[in-house]
Structure formats: structure tokens, C-alpha cells
Amino acid sequence: MIEQIPPSALPDWLAAVTGDQLPLLLDVREPAEWQAASVQPAGAELLQMSMHTIPARLGELDPDRPVAVLCHHGVRSQHVAAFLAHHGFERVANVVGGIDAWSVQADPTVPRY
């Protein structure tokens, strides 16, 4: 089961991650979307990797590393989170509502588009 984390709860999810590795916030939107709005949460590394590139680039990701997946509204990120879980990633979360909800719940300075 994929954890569903609203942006307002992401800091707590990141803080609860144990181990030596910094959690990953995987932004699966397209480059134009990254330019429109982006985030950098405390306690996580941000990696921007478009959804359609994930299968070919799967080897670049560590299945033992906790990953929270982000998109615009939460649909693409849910698909990617399920894909990662299917491929052996143990701790995967979907950021519910995506960056749009992030703008409303966590940081109103992040532009909505």
C-alpha cells in the first residue's frame, strides 16, 4: 500500500524516516512545470525526473531509500509511487494533491498554475 501524505504532513513523514540516507522528494512533473513552480523541503533531497523517464532511469534510484513522489495534483505521482513499489522500493509515499496542494497547505509562496 502506498502511503498518502498531504503536503502539510510531509515534514513529519520526513522527520520520521530513520537510517543514514536522506529521503528523496521525486518530482515527476515536466520541465516546464518545474520552471513554473518548485519546492525544496527541509530534510529531503529534491530530484526532478519526468514521469515518462522513470522506467528507463529506474537504476538511478535506490530502492532502499525512502521516496515521496510529487506531481501537479497527485495523479502522476500515485502512478509512479505504485510503479516504484512494484519494483521493490520499500518506503514510498504519494504527496496527495501535489504541488497545487503544497501551495495551499504548506507554502503559499509556491505559485499555482
Active centre residues (catalytic):
71
**How many residues does the structure list for the chain?**
113
Distance CA 82, CA 113 (A): 25
**65: which DSSP letter?**
S
* Cβ atoms of 21 and 64 closer than 8 Å: yes
DSSP 92: E
Cβ–Cβ < 8 Å for 67, 92: yes
